[in-house]
Amino acid sequence: MNLANKLTLFRVILVPFFIAALMLPYIPFGSTFALVIFALASITDMLDGKVARKYNMITDLGKFLDPLADKVLVAAALICFTELGFAPAWAVWLIMAREFMVSGIRLVAAGSKQKLVIAANIWGKLKTASTMVAICIILILHILADDFAVIGAGFPIQLITDVLVYICTFLTVLSGIIYLYDYRAVFKESEH
């Protein structure tokens, strides 16, 4: 396994630590630790691609594993956000449905005659980057309000959180529609 793929795998390994830090109430400043872990995992998302391109380490495993690691990280955060009341369940459901759909497209493409390995397109990357940034901002807002009491009760944390989640949901659904359109031929081929 090359360095780029190890960075991707490290992102997946960080997920349970993120969940524990965010969800276990007896961890002091758990949300702050969760933010640090999430930020570190997000940085590995940028690094693995740069390393793979710079040192010619692009592999089919990496093309498959990288978006999967992103999905696991983001899904973990959004499911935790639903549990904590930060994000509405319907938005998280739409985001998760898109992720399963795109994973399904990738599986059908990999099983096609051409054995296509579908890498993330620009819309998928934009969706992932904006979602990771939104998750960090939401965590920061709640840390400032809950852990450090820097933000007062009148500050519209939930409004900002809702707007960020709605933007992420829109970009997620849009990128899913684009994936469906771009790879519609894969489904036509699989019908024969």
- Output the pLDDT for position 122: 92
Residue 191: the pLDDT is: 62
Q: Band the pLDDT of 6: cuts 50, 70, 90.
A: very high
Q: What dihedral angle (degrees, nearest 10) is formed by the CA atoms of 31, 36, 38, 40?
A: -170
Q: Compute how many other C-beta atoms are within 10 angstroms of the C-beta atom of residue 85.
A: 9
- Greater confidence (15 vs 187) lies with 15
Q: Are 175 and 71 in contact (CB under 8 A)?
A: no
Please write the tens of the pLDDT for every residue from 92-135. Answer: 999 999 999 988 888 888 777 777 777 778 998 899 899 999 99
Distance from C-alpha of 138 to C-alpha of 161, rounded to nearest angstrom: 6
pLDDT in tens, 16-69: 999 999 999 999 999 999 999 999 999 998 899 899 999 999 888 888 888 889
Q: What is the model's pLDDT at position 105? A: 85
Q: CA angle at residue 157 from 19 to 23, to 5 degrees?
A: 15
> Cβ distance 136 to 168 under 8 Å?
no
Residue 163: predicted pLDDT? 97
Strands of 53-178 (E only): list them. none
What pLDDT is attached to residue 36? 97
Which domains does the chain carry?
3-191 (1.20.120)
Residue with more model confidence, 172 or 149: 172
Distance CA 78, CA 91 (A): 9
Lowest-pLDDT choice from 52-56, 85-89, 147-151, 163-167 = 147-151
Sign of the C-alpha dihedral computed for residues 124, 126, 128 and 131 taken in this order: negative
Q: How many Å apart are CA 19 and CA 17, to the nearest integer?
A: 5
User: 130-151, pLDDT tens digit by residue?
Assistant: 999 999 999 999 999 887 888 8
Q: Which residue would you say has higher pLDDT here, 188 or 39?
A: 39
Q: What is the per-residue pLDDT for 189? A: 65
